[in-house]
């Protein structure tokens, strides 16, 4: 269980068999907005299975959690609430004594929020964003439709929520992945998208990568929106995390042992 602003979130922590005394990297997996009953997110073990795969392949500690309003987690959906959940999960791994760096990997809405969280949190080292939208303008322009859909899929079950509908709607437009990608330009970013994504066009991936300025952009031919089921995407994500984290570690070690000018 994970506590986010007093809301209990369900999750799965995958831990490798062995962790070095110096610790290992940590990864937070952020799922997307439900397309069916949100109660199925906990039953769909794809994120938990992917967490186990990364922990085994890389020796990382991996946290796959369920956002508020979904699966067995408490609370009701709000976009800012989900951003808070993302930051809370990153903080949870930061506080883990076995973890020496924290990375985020998000799918769909979770990918956009992972970028947003990385722009706000110094503790986040880098992000892998998969099938993420470049903005939430469609939701912001028709919040009534989003509210109704959220009720339909079970992400909002309290008939009295939100008590302040105007504020609930206004916060949607305040989360801007493109601006966040630009602000996190000093941190590595992987952007993965399916060329045949019918939910979020691959153009969104290109503009996110452009906003960052130095992102690793991968467009998967024939890939759909549900890339977490595509083994090509899994291989890209795991390979990028491994290479990028190793490079970051080498650079940090090099900086620690560099000789200041004038002291040769």
Domain ranges of the chain: 2-253
Q: Residue 76's closest CA among 84, 68, 86?
A: 68
Q: What angle do CA 131, 134, 135 make, to 5 degrees?
A: 125
pLDDT > 70 fraction of the chain, expressed in percent and rounded: 92
Beta strands in the chain (DSSP E): 2-4, 7-9, 11-14, 24-30, 61-65, 99-107, 124-130, 189-194, 216-220
Q: How far apart are the first and last CA of the chain?
A: 52
Instruction: Write down the pLDDT at residue 257.
Output: 45
What would you report as the CA-atom Rg of the chain, rounded to the nearest whole angstrom?
18
Q: Mapping DSSP to helix (H, G, I), strand (E, B) and coil, where does residue 166 land?
A: helix
Q: Residue 9's closest CA among 52, 63, 46, 62?
A: 63
Q: What angle do CA 196, 221, 34 make, to 5 degrees?
A: 45
Instruction: Write down the pLDDT at residue 191.
Output: 98
Q: Which residue is associated with the tokens 């070095």?
A: 20
As given in the structure block, the two tokens for residue 3 are 């506590």
Instruction: Write down the pLDDT at residue 35.
Output: 81
Q: Which residue is associated with the tokens 């490798």?
A: 16
Q: Residue 214's closest CA among 244, 178, 188, 192?
A: 188
Superfamily of domain 2-253: Alpha/Beta hydrolase fold, catalytic domain (3.40.50.1820)
Beta strands in 142-228 (DSSP E): 189-194, 216-220
Q: Residue 237's closest CA among 173, 245, 82?
A: 245
Instruction: Write down the pLDDT at residue 23.
Output: 92
* Alpha-carbon gap, residue 205 to 199, rounded angstroms: 12
* Alpha-carbon gap, residue 52 to 8, rounded angstroms: 22
What is the tens place of the pLDDT at every residue in 119-134?
999 999 999 999 999 9
Bridge partners (DSSP) of residue 107 are 130
Q: Which residues of the chain have pLDDT under 50?
A: 37-38, 42-43, 257-259, 263-264
Torsion sign over Cα 144, 150, 155, 158 = positive
* Alpha-carbon gap, residue 204 to 192, rounded angstroms: 10
Angle between helices 231-257 and 46-58 (to 10 degrees): 40
Instruction: Write down the pLDDT at residue 116.
Output: 98
């Amino acid at each position: 269980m994970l506590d986010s602003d007093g809301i209990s979130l369900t999750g799965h922590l995958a831990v490798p068999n062995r962790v070095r005394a110096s610790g290992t990297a940590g990864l937070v997996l952020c799922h997307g907005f439900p397309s069916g009953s949100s109660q199925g997110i906990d039953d769909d073990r794809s994120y938990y299975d992917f967490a186990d795969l990364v922990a085994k392949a890389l020796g990382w500690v991996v946290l796959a959690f369920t956002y508020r309003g979904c699966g067995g987690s408490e609370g009701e959906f709000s976009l800012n609430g989900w951003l808070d959940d993302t930051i809370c999960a990153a903080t949870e791994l930061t506080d883990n004594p076995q973890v020496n760096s924290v990375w985020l990997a998000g799918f769909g809405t979770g990918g956009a929020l992972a970028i947003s969280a990385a722009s706000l949190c110094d503790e986040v080292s880098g992000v892998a964003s998969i099938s993420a939208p470049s903005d939430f303008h469609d939701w912001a322009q028709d919040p009534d439709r989003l509210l109704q859909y959220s009720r339909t899929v079970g992400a909002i079950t309290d008939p009295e929520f939100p008590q302040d509908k105007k504020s609930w709607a206004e916060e949607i437009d305040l989360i801007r992945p493109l601006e966040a990608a630009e602000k996190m330009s000093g941190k590595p970013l992987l952007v993965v998208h399916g060329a045949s994504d019918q939910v979020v066009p691959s153009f969104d991936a290109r503009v996110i990568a452009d906003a960052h300025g130095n992102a690793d952009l991968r467009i998967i031919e024939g890939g759909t929106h549900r890339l977490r089921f595509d083994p090509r995407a899994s291989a890209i994500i795991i390979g990028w995390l491994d290479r990028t984290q190793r490079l970051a570690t080498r650079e940090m070690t090099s900086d620690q042992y560099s000789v200041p000018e004038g002291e040769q």
